Amino acid sequence: MQNDTVRSAVALRNSTLAQLGAEIMRPTYDRSRTFPGLVHIGVGAFNRSHLAVYLDDLLGRGEVVRWGEFGVGLLPWDREIHAGLAEQDYLYSLMALETGEETLRVIGSLAGHVYAPEATETVLERMVSDECAIVSLTVTEGGYFIEDATGRVQLEHEDLRHDLEHPAAPKTWLGYVAEAAARRMKLGRAPFTLLSCDNVHGNGAIARKALLAFGEARSGALAKWIEANITFPNSMVDRITPRTTDENRAMIAERFGMMDHVPVVAESFRQWVLEDAFVAGRPAFERVGAQMTGDVAPYEKMKMRLLNGGHSTLGYLGDLLGHSFISEAAADPLLRRLLIAFMAEVKPSVPPLPGIDLDEYTATVVKRFTNTAIRDQVARICCEGCAKISKFIVPTLGDLLKTGRTPRVLPLVIAGWLHYQRGRDENGRAMQMADAQAALLKEFVDSGCADAGLALKVRPIFGELATAYPQLAGMVQGNLDELRTHGVRAAITKVLAEV
């Protein structure tokens, strides 16, 4: 960033809002009147491009002051977000990026934020306070301490063991929420709703399962209270939100004359479908574009199987081909054809939804992936592959095999992910990889990433799929062999010739 630009850019604060350029949208409501009806754990980029924006829209209508968000950061990298937000009176900006058009908007719905390891009691007090009607969560696909394929709650996890031994000094969201529930129970206070905003199938049900198991491990009475009082609405969330980069910050300073330490960037598309099951009141989300429904499951299936699964398809094979951004991968003619074939294969496993034309939906997904402005990182899409493959690909594969179909593209996607475990792309470049559950693939990786059977037998990822459908091993192995001997383009071309 040019020093001159930085010097002349206005630092984002409550007191500088009036000095910002006219093209920057900003809160028109009195932020000092907002109070936090919602305590949110995990104020990463996605929370700030999604839930917090819906709340900002609602506050902007001037009808309510109750639904501000009090943010809680649990993880080491949240410390930096906390510092940035605290310096800016909890204001941050959202840059919506579409090819050829950028808009910048300051979001004011965060009423506060703390870094939990330094403010444990504050977090618990907030959650127990009468003000708090909803505790919401964005803790990522892998953050629920549940094995997807088996549904087992991992109570042996060292952080959960810590939280069971030190209930008043928790580390995890489960520890915090259970302790807050225990205090509410003891004080005879009304419950809150636990709202998961993660991209997980049945996110409310999963959160409930994890909390009940953890609560039970603390005491039977607590588990009973949770079961009888707390509600866990399911929801489907959607907005592509890349990692914020220094380039984004520089662009905001140069183009818009504003200094923001913690901006977020996102596409302009956004969607939220929620189950209406809030025990202590809720924001009128439907007034600001969210859809309230009785059954979220079909929307989730559609989104996770087509959009997220489509991302994984472009991600692993795209990374192997040397692409850095999803838009580059989606513009690569071969990968684009593969993405379209992937979605055609997945579609029969997606239940019909009134008012939704699946062809239109998939065309929109392709268009969203092709958006060159947001520069969504392939490395972001590929991270946490064990959790993503088991959530975005394995259930579809199971459904297709169950109905007697012979999937061609999905086995290639799995083989692509397995081939990716070698850590180097086709040109020998080391790929940027991150997976908290990487140890699950140790045997496969240690033996040279060649024997698909060693991966397919990993139950936390694949469940019983390989045993139930013995033909699967051959399908994945065939693709892996092709990738290893003839390369990524040849393997894709071969599959495309068969569909």
Binding to ligand CS2 (CB under 6 A): which residues in 194-253?
A: 199, 238-240
Q: Judged by CB under 6 A, which of 388, 391, 408, 419 binds ligand CS2?
A: 388
Question: Residue from 311, 323, 375, 408 that binds ligand CS2 (CB under 6 A)?
Answer: 311
**Which one, 38 or 240, has the nearer CB to ligand CS2?**
240
CB of 323 to ligand CS2, least distance (A): 15
Give 243 or 405: the residue with its C-beta nearer to ligand CS2. 243
Nearer to ligand CS2, 208 or 388 (CB): 388
Q: Report, in Å, the least distance between residue 221 CB and ligand CS2.
A: 37
Whole-angstrom distance, CA of residue 330 vs CA of residue 44: 26
Q: Which residue number is nearest to ligand CS2 in terms of Cβ?
A: 311
The residue type at 403 = T
- Out of 47, 120, 196, 308, point to the residue binding ligand CS2 (CB under 6 A): 308
Q: Which is nearer to ligand CS2, 389 or 466 (CB)?
A: 389
What token pair was written down for 437?
Answer: 């559950």
**Does 85 engage in binding with ligand CS2 (CB under 6 A)?**
no
Nearer to ligand CS2, 305 or 311 (CB): 311
Minimum CB–partner distance for residue 138 and ligand CS2 (Å): 11
Q: Which is nearer to ligand CS2, 197 or 401 (CB)?
A: 197
For ligand CS2, the closer CB: 393 or 473: 393
Binding characters for ligand CS2, 343-382, by CB under 6 A (x = yes): --------------------------------------x-
Least distance (Å) between residue 440 CB and ligand CS2:
18
Q: Cβ closer to ligand CS2: 193 or 308?
A: 308
Taking the complex as a whole, the smallest distance from the CB of residue 22 to ligand CS2 amounts, in Å, to 31
**Minimum CB distance to ligand CS2, residue 265 (Å):** 12
Binding site for ligand CS2 (CB under 6 A): 199, 238-240, 308, 311, 381, 388
